[in-house]
Amino acid sequence: MRRPTATARFECPLGVISLMADDAQLLGVRISQAKHGAPHEITTTHPILSMALIQLSQWFAGELTGFDLPLAPSGSAEGEALRTGIASIPYGETMTYGALAMQTGSAARAVGQACKTNPFPLIIPCHRVVSTAGPEYYSAGDGPRTKTWLLDFEYNHLPPEKRTRLI
């Protein structure tokens, strides 16, 4: 990962989200496990971090369903294909590791690794990739609790006609 030239922190219902950027792109997003850390910091002169903070605010307000930010490249063609596949899962929907692997021409284990090492949680929505059986995992924030919160949040912000999952 390239060295960040700017950072910002954003307090949200999940805790504190830290963002790192250089002059050209977002380098990483980290969701902390600690709740209510730094104050909500929306003002920054860094153009990429400003865009990211505005879009995060809109997402948490239920006004935005996807992000449009310049992201640091993944580092490999397979990583980029998996990132694109994960990003293609629609807001409020999920896809299994196996189904995403078939869609991207990869293996379920590779999809899991891509989710685990995703430097852009929320932005590249790896929380939408789910297991067909067994416990769920999530490497950001408070693990599976964070993943469940994100999925429930998105589902609750879908228009009523799109809420089709069984509870």
Q: Active-site residue among 101, 122, 126, 150? A: 126
How far apart are alpha carbons 27 and 142 in whole angstroms?
Answer: 21
If you search the block for the tokens 């949200």, which residue do you land on? 12
Tell me which residue of 32, 40, 33 sits closest to 10, measured CA to CA: 40
Compute the Cα dihedral for 119, 121, 123, 125 and give only its sign: positive
Q: Which residue has the tokens 């790192």?
A: 20
Six token digits for residue 100: 């995403």
The separation between CA 60 and the C-alpha centre of its own chain, rounded to angstroms, equals: 12
126 is an active site residue: yes
Residues marked active site are found at 126
